[in-house]
Amino acid sequence: MTKNTKRMLKAALNYRSKGLSVIPVGENKKPIFPWKKYTKTLPTKEQIKEWWSEYPDANLAIITGEISNLTVVDVEKDGETDGYPETLTCKTGGGGFHFYYQYSERFKNKVRVRELTDIRNDSGYVVAPPSIHQSGKRYKWFARNKIAPFPVKLFYKEAEKQAKTDEWEESLEGVSEGSRNETAAKVCGLFLTKTSYKLWERIAWPAVKEWNKQNDPPLSNKELRGVYDSIASRVTYHREDTEQEVLALVDVTKEHKEVMKRRRGGLESGVPSGFEQLDRKLNGGFKKGDFIVIGARPSVGKTALALTLAYNAALKDFKILFFSIEMSSIDVYDRILSFITKKRCSDIIQGKLKKELQTKAYRRANKLGISIVELAKATSSEVIEVTKQHLITSDVDMIIVDYLQFLRDDGRNKSEANRVGNISKNLKMLARMTNIPVIAPAQLNRKAEGRGHGNPKLQDLRDSGNIEADADVVFLLHRSLSMEHRENAFLDIAKNRKGETGAVRLRFNSRTTRFEINDQAP
């Protein structure tokens, strides 16, 4: 055990002895594993010792809220710190301050309660000394004063606002003209998610109309129905397979006529990949409800291709939900900036991007409809749950989970094939239930390396039985073994339920880590 690990463990055990709930976090400040249970239950000393034995490089965080009797004011560097009552205070590695106060139930976690100031309370946490910031500086205790009562008066207006907006009862009593649409979306989401799909028209819609009568003035029936339909389309995941009706062909014919009208009008085309030849083989792009797998060996470019597909679609105004299980959101953003600027990704990581170009790149990036979900050690069930919550308030055209085997579904008492099979099944179910294409890179086994030219086959998918069966489309990505032609890449469409198979030639731009079309590949 290193000196730093011993120091971190000693601090964690010390905090625990004082009744504080603690967890290990990564350098990126994110919890290393699902941690919500420790907002209700204190970890044991044995658990804490096991954590730092398994994660010796981990930083330390204190869980805020009732469990630790703490409400913390988190002030970032250059934020206003005057006026806070003296209390236990930490100076963060980033140059800000954490003011530790006695727990106040009047406040919930709140981002930007003031400029550069957040409140951490129930279900929150703060990184604590002696953790090391990404800058290399440690978190240190700045003032070891007795923990003071929370300064409610300093945040009185915010307390009043939360009291008015956090309770559903207030919203259900009706609202004024300025907030009707926003509240209508929340109310629709509430009724739709709490009602069986079969009863949406009989219970949920009448309930929404009844709520609307209390607004001043009420929304028009057309406007209310528009909001209702929009939210309903986002929560179709509540429609269970057991609720599906048995349909005669005459009923399917009616539905198919509508589908054909949309196809002729170009409304049924899929999410574009950005590669014309690939989109042709996919009959217009990635289709709704399809589960797409990108198989490749390590270091071939699974993540790079997944992010390229996300970026290309976002350029066409499609909304992408990108689950980054292996990389931090900053790592993903570095690559996006490299795509935008066409500068070396390594230059961006080293801070060599000119400020003027950086500012322009930020403006372009902010217009892209890519949402990054950073979930260290996530399970496929957590991916589904996060997607459900996101769909209630946001549109999503494509979901990318990077990558399949890195999801941490419980493998105890199961073979690796069964564990991966369960992940594959859940991602397939996610695609069907949301009617959104789901793309998941997956690792190939080493058999491909012993074959001529290293060309992979379907059976090279690690634990491929379930993955191959569940997938609607399987891409097998490989690159030239020749150093002279190392940037030449081939995307083999090995399986395609709704279109052609065959290979598409690509070029891997090692400067930007982006894939591009390559008609000159040998």
**pLDDT score for 387:** 87
- Which residues lie across from 477 on neighbouring strands? 491
When pLDDT is averaged across residues 286-302 and rounded to a whole number, the result is 89
Mean pLDDT, rounded, for 257-268: 71
Q: How confident is the model at residue 242 (pLDDT cuts 50, 70, 90)?
A: very low
| Range in 5-19, 63-77, 267-281, 342-356 with the lowest mean pLDDT | 267-281
β-strand 88-91 against 97-102: which pairing, if any? antiparallel
pLDDT at 6: 95
pLDDT band at 240 (very low <50, low <70, confident <90, very high): very low
Mean local confidence (pLDDT), 466-480 = 87
**Alpha-carbon gap, residue 108 to 329, rounded angstroms:** 25
Residues 6+ apart with CB under 8 A from 60: 8, 11, 12, 15, 22, 23, 24, 25, 127, 128, 129, 130, 131
DSSP run (H or E) holding 75: strand 70-75
pLDDT interval class at 171 (50, 70, 90): low
Phi, psi of 469 (to 5 degrees): -70, -40
Evaluate if residue 331 carries a pLDDT over 80: yes
Report DSSP state, residue 326. S
Amino acid at 255: E
**Mean pLDDT lowest among 109-123, 230-244, 465-479:** 230-244
Tell me what the mean pLDDT of segment 38-51 comes to.
Answer: 94
Q: What is the pLDDT of residue 250?
A: 77
Q: What residue type is 490 in one-letter code?
A: F
Strand ranges across the sheet with 320-324: 370-374, 320-324, 398-402, 438-443, 291-296, 473-479, 488-496, 502-509, 514-517
- Closest among 129, 150, 135, 137 to 65, alpha carbons compared: 150
pLDDT at 271: 92
| Per-residue pLDDT at 264 | 74
For the chain, which domains are there? 3-161 (3.30.720.160), 167-241 (no CATH), 276-511 (3.40.50.300)
pLDDT at 266: 62
* Tens digit of each residue's pLDDT (9 = 90 or more) over 491-518: 999 999 888 888 899 999 989 999 998 7
pLDDT at 176 exceeding the cut of 70: no
% of the chain beyond a pLDDT of 70:
86
The pLDDT score that the predictor gives to residue 467 is: 84
pLDDT of residue 167: 46
> Residue 181, CB half-sphere, CA atoms under 13 Å: how many?
7
Report yes or no: 448 and 455 within 8 Å, Cβ to Cβ: yes
| Burial of 267 (C-beta count, 10 Å sphere; 0-12/13-18/19+) | exposed
**pLDDT grade, residue 164 (50/70/90)?**
very low
Active site residue ranges:
326
> What is the C-alpha separation between 395 and 370, in angstroms, rounded?
11
